[in-house]
A = this chain, B = another copy of it.
Amino acid sequence: MELVTKALVGNRYALARLISLVEDNGADARAALATLYPHTGQAHIVGVTGAPGTGKSTLVNELAKALRAQGTTVGVVAVDPSSPFTGGALLGDRVRMRDLAGDPGVFIRSMASRGSLGGLARATSDVVRVLDAVGFTVVLVETVGAGQAEVDVARIAHTTVVVEAPGRGDEVQALKAGLLEIADVLVVNKADQPGAAQAARMLEMVINQNALPPVGGDRGGEASDNVWRPPILKTIALDGTGVPEVLEAVAAHRDYLRTSGTWAEREQARIETELRNVLQQELLDRLLARVGEEQIQAWVERIAAREVDVYTAVEAISSTEKRP
């Protein structure tokens, strides 16, 4: 495929078109991804996540700039589960990342919601794969908000940076949302604001607690010197303070993953999840091609009328599947 060939040799216009193709999941997308796939597996994929208002967009910007200053190429994927109306990012990443404009060593892409959970995860994963294949050394994946979407991104990422800000009670909230448990690196941004030291201490306490063996269980006898303890770092993303230390921690985590064998383990787990998700979608598509939308609609009517529940309906639909 010409687009793929051009993108692989560094044609930015081809890359942008290829990403759109992949994001739209059109007819040619699968062929393109199959061609690209042998070129993947080199990039360090870094998720940056946290609650709204923590300044993580600014931090991602600074991380990208610092990486470029080191000569490292960077892809940025901003996952923006927004707006059936606008179909895209509202705060224009092109504006936000102005400092990086015109630099061929960086590529920035905003993802809109695909309308469904699986859709967004699939599209994000495919776009990250394209950036990996064409040779970006680091791919930063920024997610808005907190919750399940972030847990999903943690599955794509090798390293997950969780961003907090002082004085918002977010230490508890992040805990509640399960964010701390996916964190490989913790950042208290806006460290010049009141409460930053307290926020860092609270995170430290929580991390120490998590590091204890869970009550009534053990961790399979892992050697304690082979366990990654998330470092807690302070930044002021607005002026770049602390950003080099975050990059160092991210690089240290990559080295840990490689030497401990966790890199391969995480990749296996990610591939397995993805294989199941794509398989589910494919099986449903094939069933629908046989059974037909009208029959599905008829079942929806019956369920809505409380004649039958959804599980009984599914049982019936999937049992008749093999009839011609």
A148 touches B (CB below 8 Å): yes
- Report the nearest B residue to A280, measured CB to CB: B280
Q: Closest CB-CB distance, A52 to chain B, in whole Å?
A: 3
Known: A81-B177, A147-B145, A177-B81. A299 touches B275 (CB 8 A): yes
Q: A281-306 CB contact bits vs B (8 Å, 1 = yes)?
A: 11110110000000011011001101
Of B37, B178, B304, the residue contacting A83 (CB under 8 A) is: B178
Quick one: copies of this chain in the complex? 2
A67 touches B (CB below 8 Å): no
A40 touches B (CB below 8 Å): yes
A101 touches B (CB below 8 Å): no
Of all A-B residue pairs in the complex, the 9 with the closest CB atoms, nearest first, are A145-B147, A52-B173, A37-B309, A145-B146, A283-B283, A82-B178, A280-B280, A147-B149, A148-B149
Q: Closest CB-CB distance, A205 to chain B, in whole Å?
A: 14
Q: Closest CB-CB distance, A285 to chain B, in whole Å?
A: 9
Cβ < 8 Å to B, chain A residues 7-59: 30, 33-34, 36-38, 40-41, 51-53
Can you list 22 A-B pairs with a CB-CB distance of less than 8 A?
Answer: A34-B309, A37-B308, A38-B306, A51-B145, A51-B146, A81-B177, A83-B178, A84-B181, A90-B175, A118-B118, A144-B177, A145-B150, A145-B173, A147-B147, A148-B152, A149-B149, A267-B304, A271-B304, A274-B310, A279-B284, A280-B280, A283-B321
Chain B residues in 8 Å Cβ range of A223: none
Q: A78-89 CB contact bits vs B (8 Å, 1 = yes)?
A: 001111110001
Q: Closest CB-CB distance, A139 to chain B, in whole Å?
A: 17
A251 touches B (CB below 8 Å): no
**Are A148 and B81 neighbours in the complex by a CB distance under 8 Å?**
yes
Residues of A within 8 A of B (CB): 30, 33-34, 36-38, 40-41, 51-53, 80-85, 89-91, 113, 117-118, 120-121, 143-152, 168-170, 172-178, 181, 210, 214, 264, 267-268, 271-272, 274-276, 278-284, 286-287, 296-297, 299-300, 303-304, 306, 308-315, 317-318, 321-322
Chain B residues in 8 Å Cβ range of A148: 81, 113, 117, 120, 145, 147-149, 152
Chain B residues in 8 Å Cβ range of A173: 52-53, 144-145
The CA of A173 and the CA of B89, in the complex, are separated in Å by: 11
**Are A283 and B170 neighbours in the complex by a CB distance under 8 Å?**
no
Chain B residues in 8 Å Cβ range of A80: 176
- Report the nearest B residue to A284, measured CB to CB: B280
Chain B residues in 8 Å Cβ range of A120: 148
